[in-house]
Amino acid sequence: MKEYEMDQKQEWAVEAEDICFTYEGNDVPALDHFSLRIARGSRVAFMGGNGSGKSTFFLCLNGIRRPDKGRIMIDGKPFSYTRKGLLDVRRKTGIVFQDPDDQLFSASVYEDMSFGVLNLGMGEAQARQAVEHTAEELGLTALLDRPVHALSGGQKKLAAIADILVMGPEIVILDEPAASLDQMHTDLVRKVIAELSDKGITVLTATHDMDYAYEWADVIVVMKDGKVLRRGTPREVCTDRKLLEQAHLKPPVVLEMYESLKKSGIISAGEEPPGSVEELKKILTGRNDVRKGISEMERTPDAEENN
């Protein structure tokens, strides 16, 4: 169920209430009275300029950073910063760091991936099965015995993602998952992320890719200066030009195309903005005049050939 469809009585996967956090030695807060609620099972994209506080919020969600003020609740339970409390939180929420070097620590990819599941109490044989399955999903099978320091940047990122996914957390936090991945691995990771959502897992990502956020997310959270500038559906956020300018964000290409097609009269003003490239294609192929235009274009080469 989407966040905006929920009523007050329902439980939230994540609640952050009035969080303030300043890194030691800094004058400016990284999170400044930051409040947000995230519905269980939702897909949430965090967007905003460099230094707007996305990664800091994620680190607070995993208990790596402790807010100076305010509170965080996971599944309705306030954070307890005891050893047991933090273990509980880390069992439920898995975070893939922005920089994989902050995450990988074992000798080999296999050891790194199996460390977490063995720690959760899984037996050797079951752990091996889980690691091999996740490695295959992410195209990492051939790299399982490779030392982590001998991986490329993109391979490290994939291994870091695999480290978290193998543990099967209820809330998956991915800090710029596609950073340094090639197109094939970006697609692979996005497919795996989509499957997480299908299983009801709550997925939070920080991304600078507006086209992806627009098509993938249920909710986009726009951050600026450690605050939530706006939280809304991709359509609400991305059609608000003023807001995008304020956050130095550009609208997704599909909306830019839609706007110019509307201006030139190809799409009628009443047409709802498309939620994806596929939806835009449907709008266009559904238009008689466009279809006529396309069939005329298709006829032209024959006509030329006959001349």
Ligand X SMILES: Nc1ncnc2c1ncn2[C@@H]1O[C@H](COP(=O)(O)OP(=O)(O)OP(=O)(O)O)[C@@H](O)[C@H]1O
Interacting residues with Mg ion between 159 and 178 (CB under 5 A) = none
d(Cα 235, Cα 274) in Å, to the nearest integer? 9
CB of 4 to ligand X, least distance (A): 24
Question: In this structure, which long-range contacts are made by residues 22-26, counting pairs with CB atoms below 8 Å and at least 24 apart in sequence?
Answer: 22/68, 23/56
Q: Is 219 helix (H, G, I), strand (E, B) or coil?
A: strand
Q: How far is the CB of 46 from ligand X (least distance, A)?
A: 8
Secondary structure letter of residue 252 according to DSSP: -
Length of the chain: 307
Q: In the complex with Mg ion, which residue's Cβ is closer, 4 or 23?
A: 23
Residues 71-110 touching Mg ion, rule: CB under 5 A, are: 98
Query: Is there binding between residue 55 and Mg ion (CB under 5 A)?
Result: yes
Q: What are phi and psi of 40, to 5 degrees?
A: -60, 135
In the window 25-84, what residues touch ligand X (CB under 6 A)?
26, 30, 48, 50-56
Tokens of 176: 């710029």
| Residue 53 contact among ligand X, Mg ion, none, beta carbon within 5 to 8 Å by kind | ligand X
Instruction: Classify strands 12-21 and 171-175 as parallel, antiparallel or unpaired.
Output: unpaired
Other C-beta atoms within 10 Å of 28: how many? 10
β-partners of residue 47 are 222
Using CB under 6 A, pick the residue from 42, 62, 98, 114 that binds ligand X. 98
Residues in region 214-273 near ligand X by CB under 6 A = none
Would you count residue 19 as binding ligand X (CB under 6 A)? Answer: no
| Binding residues for ligand X (CB under 6 A) | 23, 26, 30, 48, 50-56, 98
| Binding residues for Mg ion (CB under 5 A) | 54-55, 98
